[in-house]
Structure 1
Amino acid sequence: MSTSLTCTSLSFAWPDGTAVFEGLDAAFGPGRSGLVGANGAGKSTLLKLLAGRLTPADGTVEVAGEMGYLPQSVTLGTALRVDEALGIAGRRAALHAIEAGDVSDEHFETVGDDWDVEERALAALGELGLGHVGLDRTVGEVSGGESVLLHLAALLLRRPDVLLLDEPTNNLDVYARRRLYSAVSSWPGLVVVVSHDRELLELVDQIADLRSGSLTWYGGNLSAYEKALAVEQEAAERMVRAAESDLRKQKRELADAKVVLARRKRYGQKMYDTKREPRAVMKLRARSAQQSAGKYRVMHEKKLAEAKGRLDDAVEAVRDDDEIRVDLPYTAVPHGRAVLTLRDLELVHGARVKNGFDLHGPERIALIGRNGAGKTTLLRTVAGELEPVAGEATAHVPLRFLPQRLDVLDGELSVAENVARFAPGATGNRIRARLARFLFRGARADQRAATLSGGERFRAALAALMLAEPAPQLLMLDEPTNNLDMASVRQLTSALDAYEGALIVAGHDIPFLKSLGITRWLLFEEGELRETTPEEVGCPA
């Protein structure tokens, strides 16, 4: 039987009654499927339902074959040995016992036919760049990105027929991402991947777009999906213009109809007043005119209501792809002006910047390297959050730092109040006018930060820093695209396009970094910072 994954009439709601899915039908066939959608659309929830981690209120999930699931947040006990995390500890112990001369039946039953379990485990680790991780080491000795790969290695060993991946590249460095791409592209079964990673989504065979609780399928990879979507949006916008024109026409015709009816009424009244016809005839004529007028008015009101409905449907089909458009002249840095100086800098945890590093003018720096190399430590040191062990880091312009955690926001304050904390001299009207350009219009600016979606929270944090006073002429971002949907990434890119200051972005999302107009690439490797190129670290142009 061909591998497949289907859900029928699937319904699910959160404990507060908020509906996520109502009667959802979907069928995933063999090959690789990318699941995309806005933050909060329910992508992770759907994957959990498919994986059996959540129970639907109604409907069924059927899978043909064994299933494997890689959640967005991988948590493994730090005391767990690597072989335990891989699920082979029992077979490995039995194998070692047999090799030591213990020929108990229970050991042979445990091993079964899996006599090369250790070799396969080491091969799986090597395939994902974890060849240096021994089977006897503990999970606490590996980095967060390596623990994700370790979980994936366990799935590689099992080789399930159906593989569900939820944002698998979020915590992976550029090298680990390459290995993940290779594993996904060579997977022989059915793969469903939720991701905003462009390179990963270029490997899929089809895209499922989750919107308003339903799925729309597009053949091909991300590029093909975006082309098809662009064609759809052009058609949808034409429909909106046609519906708006029709609505205006129906309003005019209703107004004209009211004028005609008013004239008829005045004529009838005049005939009645002058008694030009017998009263019985006039009464009959009046009743007939009233009935005719009522039908006439109802007909035009119905046409108007239908036109409004068509316009609502047409507007619904157009996606909200607003871009952030900001004018921040005070962030500009003249060419050649000193922005940041690092001298013989030694950081906590051992990383260092030998000799010196200088950042001038509106340069745009991409900071890349393996997980744990020291990128975040360097940014926090430059921002003044950490003291250097030795040397100095001197910023010559106002700077702002946006950490991965987005903890610059106070969850109990509104978006407008959070921005006001960073620009105490700005009036409320000025703050709201600026926030509108970050897509927080009207009541949205009064939402509490704690109630915002992931993409909205990031946008609010970015607004707070970019609208700060004094205006930041050096902006530092740490892994800014983690957990952002593709629409939010586009909005971030458009905001940074308008930023005229110097920029340092630490990240592993090479397509995103390239979209920012990076002028210099810096690699943290083996505790040291040096100039590089994307091609040097295996990221083709």
Structure 2
Amino acid sequence: MTNPHLTLQGVSCQLPDGRLLFSGLDASFDVRRTGLVGRNGVGKSVLARMLAGQWPPSSGRLQTQGTTYYLAQEPCRDAGTTVATATGVATTLEALARIESGSVDAADYDLIGSRWTLRQDLEQALHEQGLDHLDASTPMARLSGGEAARVVFAGALLSDADFLILDEPSNHLDRDARRSLIAQFQAWPKGLIVVSHDRELLRHMERIVELSPLGLRSYGGNYDLYAAQSEQERADAERELTQRKAERRREERALRDQRERAERRESRGNRGVRDANQAPILLGRQKERSEVTTGRLRERQEHHRSVLDERVRLAAQRVDDRQAPVMRVDNAMHSSFRIASLDGVRLAHLSGATATVDLSITAGQRIGLVGGNGSGKSTLLRTLAGKLAPLEGRRHAWAPVAYLDQQLTDLDPTRSALDLMRGVNNERGESELRTRLAQIGIDAHAATLPSGQLSGGQRLAMGLAMAIHADPPARLLLLDEPGNHLDLDTLRALENMLNELEAALVVVSHDEVFLERIGLTERLEATAAGWKRTPC
């Protein structure tokens, strides 16, 4: 199809609970590779589904020229889901099998259309994703997160849609798989909209569109251009807020002086009226005129004051929209204190050279745990956290350890963020705990919701806050792909927090930009020869 496009006209979305997620969105998406960014909870995933025709607008209109294919953030790996169903070809393959067995049902032929080579096409698509060991019948439940992500991306490519709309497609992918994904994006000849916080991936986009409470804004370039312009807008917004506040102070003084002059004139007029020898009816009319004049002045001043307040409010909203979250850190450990160790450990579920490990961690160390998908990084982290017992050897911990896995399984989804924070620190009052939560993007309303209703990024930020502000605080943070669910602003806030943190850190991540920015002291890499430590 020539000139495929998606156009939003005055689109809004109101959630079932009555909350307005976004409104008045006007935008057009063409075949340029487009990155859709924005803070967690602002509605990026809902907007992506809306663009794909899977979520109707509450008001406004979506115009679609061309076909779309939507890829959700988390691939389905439920029991019964196979590679064929995950890639969206199961029904067609079943029709093809029936025809090969002798079926002459017209419905089967309609299902296949021109896709007579679909079985071979699926094999080729899996091969291109490095998944030759899989076939159409392979259960998705057997696959790792990275393998599942590559399977569903193969399905997206097989769809041959005019627009691919992908929600966080690089989550769970290792470094090599991410590079392969970027190469395939660059080769994709049609429309592409990617919801992502992966800065390396966003650097290969041709356009960045940001969703915020103020609406949609398009930046005609890649992530680096967007980041530079966004930072400039943040500085401009803060400068405008300062100017608007100063303007309000000046105008308030002028209004006060004007009011005081009017009151003095009115007082002099009243004295003159009392001294004048006039008829009572004339005196009454003069008093009425004076009161009307004073009332009009008061109305004009109130209106002017409300205009000034609105200008300050709008300027503050622009600052809030651009203000990065803050993660404050309470540091207390300044030594080479030994925190944890793995002594002569043989790891469960692993074979080969990476099955054995010796590791000692002291205060201030920050280790990047790297390697391909399935190499044992998460197993090592779980053993270090005490969640998984080693087959041989000993695990020791001499200080509090906090472990956040990719699914955040230790965060009870039925309890609120405020309740969870109280559970780890009952020494601080509710007001301070609410302030800590607000600093990481969990407002007063969200703080009282069951944590399972929060976004993935909010839940991760909450887990970090619980570790940092626990009593006593964690002295070793073990993080498994912490950036997978964070928006760009919160990711930068996390980087800043980790740079200030004096507790030890072991982090699994495939995000090279993130690893470069958190001040690693060394890397521990899973290789064919075993675990290799390299100073940074």
1:334 Cα deviation after fit = 1.6
Whether 1:380 aligns to 2:377 is no
Deviations 1:366-412 (A, max 9, x none): 11223333222222222222211111222233322222233444455
3-state SS, counterpart of residue 464 of structure 1? helix
1:501 Cα deviation after fit = 1.6
Taking the TM superposition and a 5 Å limit, the aligned residue runs for 1:143-154 are 143-154=144-155
3-state SS, counterpart of residue 349 of structure 1? coil
3-state SS, counterpart of residue 151 of structure 1? helix
Taking the TM superposition and a 5 Å limit, the aligned residue runs for 1:418-433 are 418-424=420-426, 426-428=427-429, 432=433
1:88 Cα deviation after fit = 5.8
Opposite residue 216 of structure 2, the aligned amino acid is: L
1:420 Cα deviation after fit = 3.5
Equivalent residue, structure 2, for 1:187: 188
The answer to whether the 8 A contact 1:326-1:437 is kept is no
**1:226–1:296 Cα change, 3 Å:** same
1:434 Cα deviation after fit = 7.8
Taking the TM superposition and a 5 Å limit, the aligned residue runs for 1:275-314 are 275=276, 285-314=286-315
Whether 1:240 aligns to 2:241 is yes
Deviations 1:113-170 (A, max 9, x none): 6676555433322322223334564444432321221121122223222110011112
Q: How far apart, CA to CA, are the structure 2 residues paired with 1:283 and 1:105?
A: 98
Equivalent residue, structure 2, for 1:346: 346
The answer to whether the 8 A contact 1:94-1:110 is kept is yes
Equivalent residue, structure 1, for 2:257: 256
Opposite residue 498 of structure 2, the aligned amino acid is: L
Opposite residue 457 of structure 2, the aligned amino acid is: G
3-state SS, counterpart of residue 298 of structure 2? helix
Q: How far apart, CA to CA, are the structure 2 residues paired with 1:439 and 1:495?
A: 11
1:196 Cα deviation after fit = 0.9
**1:421–1:276 Cα change, 3 Å:** same
**1:109–1:374 Cα change, 3 Å:** same
Where structure 1 has 5 or more consecutive residues not aligned to the other structure, the ranges are 535-541
Percentage of identical aligned residues: 32
Taking the TM superposition and a 5 Å limit, the aligned residue runs for 1:37-186 are 37-75=38-76, 79=80, 82=83, 85-86=86-87, 117=118, 120-134=121-135, 137-186=138-187
Deviations 1:247-295 (A, max 9, x none): 1122112221221122122212222332366767655554443343333
Opposite residue 372 of structure 1, the aligned amino acid is: G
1:298 Cα deviation after fit = 2.9
Opposite residue 368 of structure 1, the aligned amino acid is: V
Whether 1:4 aligns to 2:1 is no
Comparing 269-278 with 363-372, greater Cα deviation is found at 269-278
Taking the TM superposition and a 5 Å limit, the aligned residue runs for 1:445-460 are 447-448=448-449, 450=451, 452-460=454-462
Whether 1:404 aligns to 2:401 is no
The answer to whether the 8 A contact 1:328-1:498 is kept is no
**1:276–1:39 Cα change, 3 Å:** same
Comparing 243-252 with 117-126, greater Cα deviation is found at 117-126
Q: Aligned match of 1:474 in 470, 473, 476?
A: 476
The answer to whether the 8 A contact 1:324-1:491 is kept is yes
- Corresponding pairs, count: 530
Q: How far apart, CA to CA, are the structure 2 residues paired with 1:273 and 1:89?
A: 97
3-state SS, counterpart of residue 127 of structure 2? helix
**1:256–1:80 Cα change, 3 Å:** closer
Q: How far apart, CA to CA, are the structure 2 residues paired with 1:449 and 1:141?
A: 30
1:216 Cα deviation after fit = 1.1
TM-score by length of 1: 0.86
Q: CA RMSD in A?
A: 3.5
1:472 Cα deviation after fit = 2.3
Comparing 475-484 with 462-471, greater Cα deviation is found at 462-471
3-state SS, counterpart of residue 381 of structure 2? helix
**1:456–1:137 Cα change, 3 Å:** closer
Equivalent residue, structure 2, for 1:329: 331
Q: How far apart, CA to CA, are the structure 2 residues paired with 1:220 and 1:453?
A: 28
Equivalent residue, structure 2, for 1:539: none
Q: How far apart, CA to CA, are the structure 1 residues paired with 2:195 and 2:443?
A: 32
Equivalent residue, structure 2, for 1:366: 368
Equivalent residue, structure 1, for 2:498: 496
3-state SS, counterpart of residue 484 of structure 2? coil
The answer to whether the 8 A contact 1:409-1:449 is kept is no
